[in-house]
A and B are shown apart, each in its own frame.
Chain A
Amino acid sequence: MDASSQPPSLPVQQPRMAVRADPKPSLLKRTVFVPVKFLVGLLMVQSPLGAVMLTGWTSRLMQRVVLWTWWRAAKDRPKSFAEFVAAENATAGHVHWPNWIFDQNFNSKVTAEPLLSQKLRRLVTGLFRSLWENGRLGSQMFLNTTLVLLPSMLLMWTGWFSGWQVSFNKQYEHVAVGASVSLIGIVLFVAAMFYVPMALARQASTGDWRRFYDFRLVRGLVKRAWFGNVLVAGGYAAASLPIIAMMVGPTFFAQGNTSATELSPAVVERNLRLYYLACALWILPAFVLLRCATACLYGRTVLKAVQSGALGEDDLAENEWHSFRRLGLLDNVVPAKRSLWTELVLWFGTKAGRITAGFMVAGLWFLVVGQINYAATFFSYRFAFSWINQPLTFLPWFMHLPAHIENQWGPVGVAFFVLFAAWRIQRLVKWVQAKQEALARSGA
């Protein structure tokens, strides 16, 4: 058993209705809150700090999608998904889509408290609960992704730099340097992208950043889900196409516009901010949908692996095991008669299928890197930002002001400072709480 996995023999919480959450929000509520949440999402795409928040928010949504996938697959499932998740404290937050700022089911939680002091306490602690969770989960996801993808990105950047230095200086003796460094970077990136989406889905599903590094388990899931991997990689490749156009777009803003060169920096900044806000109309849904598709793939693959005995109950994280148990998904299932579609999917599980799918996935990820990094950079170079961030696979930050308007390292620095400060404050609060508890115990 994986050391960090929780054994299913741990004391099991009895299912109970955790909160008085309305399983189905009213049409009025949805009409108001869906556009608001979407608008906030668009704004999040505009800065690195916001992008971390969006990553965290998406992580919570991915967990919800995994649960929904399992709920859909259960024979004896509760009538609605909301009913299923609301039945237990650990999942009650998934009755509604994740919030940006307030705690999940904030209103219900506050009103459910009997005493005013408890209401106030709940109000204060819940006011920024989602904001905190989004930041925490987003940082964890970002750091894990960085650790795996950044080396390949840096190699590609170095290879690009070297390649053009060779061309400019005609240093033909060194032509292999840029080419080989780029090639290594691309190969590493493609190899990493076989792993990263599924690992991120596992991290989101378990809510634990350490689960990202369950190499054996994630590798096993990837091998079982070749067909799904082709679809996911294809989704990323297709979604990247409009992003090239968006990255290159500002190159053409001044064409045929003779007055463009006389615009003040303030006007240029305003125009660019509006442009990138419009671009977020694509980036936000593409990022969220692709992550959710991966979560769905993870949920289905884990379910089939457990039910076929390929994965043991011990391989599930505690929260996953509880959900399986509640939905009665732990029993082995005899495969039903296969449809043509199922046969096709299963063929991807054969050796020939896996090899074919492997080449397809590698090719599709190569397309992604070819589009976002190489093709877009060819037309609109953005220094390091052309290479160390891909908005769909890395951080969904898609707003670039030229250096003469704003130093782009500024927002990056702000993001790091805020997240670091938040982390230290959390540690301080925990330390104070521990001291208080120790004092209370010694007093008693």
Chain B
Amino acid sequence: MNPKPSSTLPRRDFLRHLAVGSSALALGPTLLRASGAPASSSVLTDVSRKTYTGPNLVLVRWGGGARRRESIEPGTTYSPFLCHELLKRGTLYKNMEITKLEGLNTSHGEGTLNIMTGHYDRYKDIENGFLRTRFEPKVPTIFEYMRKAYDVPDYQTLIVNNENRPDEEFYNFSNHLGFGMNVRSQTLSLYRYKTYLFQKQLAEGKLPDKELKEKRDQLAKWRKADGRAAGKDEMPPRMEEFWMNWRGHYGDTGFVNERGDRLLTQLTIRAMTELKPKMVMVNYTDCDYVHWGYMDHYTRGIAIMDEGLRQLVAAVEADEAYRDNTIFAVIPDCGRDNNPYVDVPCQHHFNSRSSHEIFALLFGPGVAKGQVVDKLCDQSQLVSTLGKMMKFETTSAESRVLEEAIA
């Protein structure tokens, strides 16, 4: 593995780090914390962290819930770019599974946390809400490992979420000792944009009374939704700047920007230009609509993801900061049923065999090319593998590494 050294620290960041770092050295971390500095900037107080020079990571959650059949099998695929182009460029684990443990649900929240933490666990909503899935990771996420090991600001570790899954806004940090809020990642989603937008609109005071009240109530409701971050969840200036630019470009209506999973691609590509993330996880979702009806929502969802992936790869190849220095990992959060008794056999909650059957594709610098690995492996092995490639410890994750992928 011979990644190019990162030369992407923006000038503005450099100056900000320098200024805050100097203050931190002068005043000491304790004094800085006591002064009420936002948690999101607390990482800047630790000057012992190394600058990250390894490869960037684009982690694509191929979901919510996609089978091998429509993804990587050439005769039946709906993702031609993934299947016919990308498989040649990296290592495919075609027999990856979500292990069968009692009480382990094969669903999106759980699958996403398996991918992010490298650890299987049973989860429940943080407030036991009915049909809510605000899961809190119990061990560190890959983002926390990276930020703990390296001096990477939170806005360069991003989770890009779909607007339909506000519960996934809770995956930014774990409750694990020594990790958590201070090494959190940031999220890009319409939910976050609306939070920013409503705050600005309230501050601008131009809204009519009725709308003013609605937006104030909505903001209060969102704040209440995650008590863990209450009072500590200030948006870092770079994120504010990102959303300000977004607002300037796409306006307030939400009707100008892309929608659904296409929006995730749009957000990611824009973030790559403006925030230069070192690690970004794109949580595609749309194919999950198949639950309630149409098979073509599933297959269209997969095709949209495929096109999104093509655009992400093209964006990486077009950007000097990312070209030849970015690892891609594509992995479903869960599979789906293959029930022969029904017309639309695409549930995934009920522990069927094919809901456990997934795959993983890795490509980029330091990854073996054109390799298909048949052996049985686990979804939880991805974090330690990526940790090894990016050179940080993943202490609480599954220790087995997907060795075949490492060139």
Contacts and interface: CB of A to CB of B under 8 A. Distances in A.
B338 interface: yes
A402 B260 contact: no
Interface in A193-230: none
Contact of A261 (B286, B301, B339): B339
A171 B262 CA distance: 13
A255 B336 CA distance: 11
Contacts of A116: none
A378 B292 contact: yes
Interface string A385-410: 00000000000000010111000000
Contact of A169 (B259, B293, B351): B259
A252 B339 CA distance: 8
A167 interface: yes
Interface string A166-197: 01111111000000000000000000000000
Interface stretch (A94-102, A265-273, A297-305, A416-424): A265-273
B300 interface: yes
Given A173-B255, A381-B292, A381-B344, A168 B354 contact: no
Contacts of A171: 259
Contacts of A160: 293
A1 interface: no
A402 B259 contact: no
Interface in B258-297: 259-260, 286, 289, 292-294, 297
A358 interface: no
A255 B286 CA distance: 24
A252 B348 CA distance: 11
Contacts of A255: 337, 350-352
A380 to B, nearest CB: 6
Contact of A250 (B300, B342, B354): B342
B338 A261 contact: yes
B343 A402 contact: yes
B218 to A, nearest CB: 16
B341 interface: yes
Contact of B255 (A172, A252, A272): A172
A253 interface: yes
B339 A260 contact: yes
A251 B343 contact: no
Contacts of A170: 163, 259-260
Contact of A254 (B163, B259, B340, B344): B340
Contacts of B255: 172-173
A86 B345 CA distance: 55
B350 A381 contact: no
A164 B293 contact: yes
Interface in A230-267: 250-258, 260-261, 263, 265
B112 interface: no
Contact of A253 (B254, B286, B297, B341): B341
Given A169-B260, A172-B255, A271 B352 contact: no
Nearest to B287: A168
B353 interface: yes
B266 to A, nearest CB: 13
Interface residues of A, number: 36
B56 interface: no
A345 to B, nearest CB: 41
A254 B294 contact: no
Contacts of A378: 292
Instruction: Name the prevailing secondary structure of the B interface residues.
Output: loop
Contacts of A382: 343
A383 interface: yes
B380 interface: no
Instruction: Name the prevailing secondary structure of the A interface residues.
Output: helix
Contact of B339 (A167, A169, A251): A251
B157 interface: no
A380 B292 contact: no
A168 B338 contact: no
A216 to B, nearest CB: 41
Given A164-B293, A381-B292, A268 B340 contact: yes
Contact of B341 (A172, A272, A381): A272
A403 B295 CA distance: 12
A167 B292 CA distance: 11
Contacts of A46: none
Contacts of B163: 170
A403 B343 contact: yes
Q: Which of B254, B286, B300, B340 neighbours the largest number of chain A CB atoms within 10 Å of its CB?
A: B340
Contacts of B340: 254, 260-261, 263, 265, 268, 402, 404
A377 interface: yes
B347 interface: yes
Nearest to B340: A268
Contact of B342 (A161, A251, A271): A251
Contacts of B286: 168
Contacts of A252: 350
A251 B290 CA distance: 13
Nearest to B300: A168
Contacts of A260: 339-341, 352
Nearest to A259: B353
Contact of A168 (B289, B342, B343, B350): B289
Q: Which of B289, B343, B345 neighbours the largest number of chain A CB atoms within 10 Å of its CB?
A: B343
A168 B351 CA distance: 26
A164 B297 contact: yes
A400 B343 CA distance: 9
Nearest to B289: A168
Q: Which of B342, B344, B345, B353 neighbours the largest number of chain A CB atoms within 10 Å of its CB?
A: B342
A153 B354 CA distance: 35
A250 B341 CA distance: 6
B274 to A, nearest CB: 23
Nearest to A164: B293
A124 to B, nearest CB: 45
Contacts of B338: 254, 261
B42 to A, nearest CB: 36
Nearest to B301: A168
Contacts of A403: 343
Nearest to B295: A381
Contacts of A272: 341
Contacts of B339: 250-251, 253-254, 260-261
Contacts of A261: 338-340, 352-354
A254 B341 contact: yes
A378 B292 CA distance: 5
B354 to A, nearest CB: 6
A402 B341 contact: yes
B289 A251 contact: no
Interface in A121-162: 160-161
A164 B292 contact: yes
A253 B254 CA distance: 42
Contacts of B300: 168
Given A168-B300, A173-B255, A380 B352 contact: no
Given A255-B352, A381-B293, A168 B260 contact: yes
Given A167-B289, A168-B286, A256-B352, A381 B347 contact: no
7 contacts: A168-B297, A171-B259, A251-B341, A254-B338, A254-B341, A256-B350, A256-B351
Q: Which 5 A-B pairs have the closest CB atoms?
A: A170-B259, A255-B350, A254-B339, A250-B341, A253-B341
Interface of B: 163, 254-255, 259-260, 286, 289, 292-294, 297, 300-301, 337-345, 347, 350-354
Given A254-B337, A255-B352, A381-B292, 17 more contacts: A160-B293, A164-B297, A170-B259, A170-B260, A172-B255, A173-B255, A251-B339, A254-B338, A254-B340, A256-B351, A256-B352, A260-B339, A261-B338, A261-B354, A271-B341, A381-B294, A382-B343
